[in-house]
Structure formats: structure tokens, C-alpha cells
Amino acid sequence: MSAPAHDPDLRAAQPEHSRRALLAGSVGNFIEWYEFGVYGYFATVIAARFFTPEGGSEVEGLVKTYASFALAFFFRPVGAALFGRLGDRIGRRPVLILVIALMTVATTLIGALPTYATVGALAPWLLTFLRVLQGLSAGGEFGGAVSVMTEFAPPGRRGLYGSWQSFTVALGLLGGAGVAALLATVLDARQLEAWGWRLPFLLTLPLGLGALWLRLRLDETPSFRRESAGEGARERPPRREVARAITLGAARVMGWAAAGYTFLVVLPSYLQSSLNASFRQALLATVLANLGFAVTIVPAGLLSDRVGRRPVMLTGAVLVTVLAVPLLDLLQEPGASNAVKGVAVFVAGAVVGLMAGPGPAMLSEMFPTSVRYTGLGLAYALSNAVFSGCAGLIITETIKRTGNVDIPGYYAAATCAVSVLALATLGRRPRTLVKDQEIQRS
């Protein structure tokens, strides 16, 4: 349920400011998830270049690659707390400018790193250091971007505006998959492994400069301006209540985090290592999954403005819980046609989109302006640190130990089952920790 039309903050947000905020907030999410997608898609190549000394095990190298991946995710909550605190004190705009600059530098440098063959054991440490910087900046990105989008949203459109955060995640993952697929087509395997994998990371530099220009033109949100001027609700909720809300918010989005990364990023390496698919086949499957994800996000956000966040998100969580293992079994079925398998991965992405569309607005509505950047950023970052960042590591290591190739399906289903329970507590109308003029209880 969106904020009432009489909200003075919303009257202050003119259409051109709302559109500019939508673009400036979205572009950082695109770059963040483009890079994380590229890292996931090239995980096997990165494992060979940075984590596998001569004579080393390929599986062990892949596990170490995902461990570095997970480490970056665990620095997201640190970034969410650090930059969120700044964003709630000095403003959304300056902090979002800072995090996009840091993200751009760290990602571009990955494309220029020396490999294990050149500098030996220093190579994985340099890569891990840059991944940590990415994790810190990404932790500060979500809370600020969603705060900007939803605080500038017109009356009755918070779900739609917030859904663009998730939609640009899908575009970023698709962009990463598209670049990876293009390189796999125009370069042979030796060229791709020698230097081709660097190009997607280096491409971040012009993308980041464009994002920085957009954010320099961004206005501060009406909500934060009113808060700073002493005109808004300045009461800060008790820390215990904020912590409880963060935990509940993380539980509500953990299924989205886990299933999303399982189906949208980990899938290529899983198909290659467990089902003996080629690199191109794995990328095609991932593109289809991300297309399904992208198709449902914005309609789901728009629908949640009309019927509420709970029914839309619950539908997605229940569908993943029920369908995850059967969809994965279909991919393993030798008699199933490629068209049927393509539909299966498309559906897998689509049901995740039902959670991702309303998710940002749902988190934003849980926190008042004074702690919104920090609260929703931490809820999202904690969930992603545990259930997205560890997805590749958990799935790869568990399959290695058990030989059970259904593990990704069980993982997605179990996390979404927990989200079903947490989402069941979500009311039809948004509730914040304290009375907030931007989002009122009714």
C-alpha cells in the first residue's frame, strides 16, 4: 500500500526529479550486478587464472573462487552499515556518488590484475582485496538507491519505482551474460582464457563514469531535506526495534536472494561442472533465466501497488519452494528437448521476479526516513551475504561431497520456505517503526 497523496514530501518530488532519481539510482545497480554476473559467468576461467597453480585441482580452484565471491558478499553488511549511517546523516546523494566511484575503480582494476602464472600466490590475494572493496561499495549502493527511488516516487507508485532496482539487477546480469556470450562467440577458448575474460571488467570504467555524471546531477530527496530542516518526524526508533526489523526484513528477502543467485548466476558453473554442459550452453540457459526474471519484475512491482506487497511476494516464494527441485530434475532429463529445458530456466527466473519486484518497496516501507538507508541496506546486505554470496560455495562443495546434483534445487526451496513464513507476517498496509509522514499507517 503506497503513501497517501497528501504527503508533502511526495508533492515536492516533481516528475522530472522522480525520473532523474530513477535513472541515477538504477545505473549503479546495473554496474554492480553486471560485474557480479561477469564474475560468476567467468568463474571457471578465473579459478584457472588465479586460484589453480600448475597441477592443482580444478574443482578446488572453483571452490576457492566462490570463497572469494562469498567474502565480498560478507563485506556488504559492513558497507551497508558504514555508508548507510553516512547516508542517513549527510544525505543520500553524496554517499551514492562515493560508492559508485569506489565500485568503478575496484571492478576496472580486476581487469588489469596479474595472474597466478605471473605473480604466484600474490594474485589471489590481490583479487580478493578488490572483491572486498566491491563488497563494501555494493553494501552502500542498495540502501541509497532504493531510498532515492522510493522517496522520489509519485503517490501510489512506490512499488513500481522500487522494482526498477531489481529490474536493473536483471539488466546487469543480462548485460554480463551478453558480453560473456559475445566473447565466447568471437574468441576461441585460448584467447578467452588468456586475455578475453579481462574485457568485461575493463568495460566498467566508461559505464562507471557515466553513472558518476548522472549522480552528480541528482537532487537530494524531499524526505531527507525535510528531515534535515527539522520539519519531518525526527524521532529515531530504539536500536532493538531497528535490529528486529532488519532481521525480519532479511528473512523476507532471503528466498529472493538465494533463489535469485542460484538460478541467475551460479547456474552456468553448475551446468558445466555437474551436467557437463558447454560454456555456450550454460550461458544461453542463464540468459533465458535472466530474461524470465526481467519480464516479471516491473509488472510485479506495479501489481503490488494495487493489491499489496504480501500476495505478490508470497506467490513467488511458494512457487520456488514447490518448483525448484522439479525444474532442476527437468534439466537433468536426457529425453527432454532443449526447448523444454529453455522454458524451465525461463520459468525459474520468472518466479524469482515476483519476489524481486515488490521487495525494495517492501523493505523501504519498514523503516522511517531517519534510519531508512541503514535499515533497508543492512536487511538486504545481510540476506545477500549469507544466502547469495555463499550460494556458489555451498552448492559446489555440497555436490562435491555428496554427489547429489539436486542440491541447488533443495537450497532454493529451503530458503524460500523460510521467506514464506516471514512474509506471512507482512500486513496489507506498510508499517514503519515510528510514525513517519512519508509512510503513514492507516
* DSSP secondary structure of 6-27: T-HHHHHS-HHHHHHHHHHHHH
Whether 67 shows a pLDDT value over 80: the answer reads no
Domain ranges of the chain: 8-423
Top-ranked range on mean pLDDT: pick from 68-82, 130-144, 412-426 = 412-426
Q: Which CATH class is domain 8-423?
A: mainly alpha
265 has pLDDT over 90: no
Q: What is the pLDDT of residue 438?
A: 47
- Is 437 a residue whose pLDDT tops 80? no
Question: Is the Cβ–Cβ distance between 301 and 313 less than 8 Å?
Answer: no
Taking alpha carbons only, the member of 256, 237, 298, 251 closest to residue 426 is 251
- How large is the average pLDDT for residues 224-235? 71
Looking at every residue in the chain, the average pLDDT score rounds to 84
CB of 298 within 8 A of CB of 164?
yes
Average pLDDT over residues 338-362: 92
CA distance 222 to 242: 23
Q: Decide if pLDDT at 316 tops 90.
A: yes
Q: Is the pLDDT of residue 10 over 60?
A: no
Q: What end-to-end distance do the CA atoms of the chain give, in Å?
A: 10
Pick from 265, 273, 261: nearest CA to 57: 273
| Position 140 pLDDT exceeds 60 | yes
- Rounded distance between C-alpha atoms, residue 14 and residue 118, angstroms: 54
When pLDDT is averaged across residues 303-319 and rounded to a whole number, the result is 96
To the nearest whole percent, how much of the chain has pLDDT over 70? Answer: 87
What tens digit of pLDDT does each residue of 201-223 get? 999 999 999 999 999 998 899 88
Q: How many CB atoms lie within 10 A of CB 323?
A: 19
Alpha carbons 217 and 214: distance in angstroms, whole number:
5
Residue 35 CB contacts under 8 Å (≥ 6 apart), including other chains: 103, 107, 134, 172, 176, 201, 204
At residue 7 the predicted structure's pLDDT band, cuts being 50, 70 and 90, is very low
Cell of 416: 524460500
Q: Which residue has the higher pLDDT, 62 or 236?
A: 236
Q: What is the predicted pLDDT for the residue at 287?
A: 82
- DSSP state at residue 371: G
Pair 211, 100: CB distance under 8 Å: yes
Phi-psi region of 276 (alpha: psi -120 to 50; beta: other; left: phi over 0): left
Whether the predicted pLDDT of 24 surpasses 60: yes
Q: What is the pLDDT of residue 428?
A: 64
Give the pLDDT band of residue 303 (cuts 50, 70, 90): very high
Q: What percent of the chain has pLDDT over 90?
A: 43
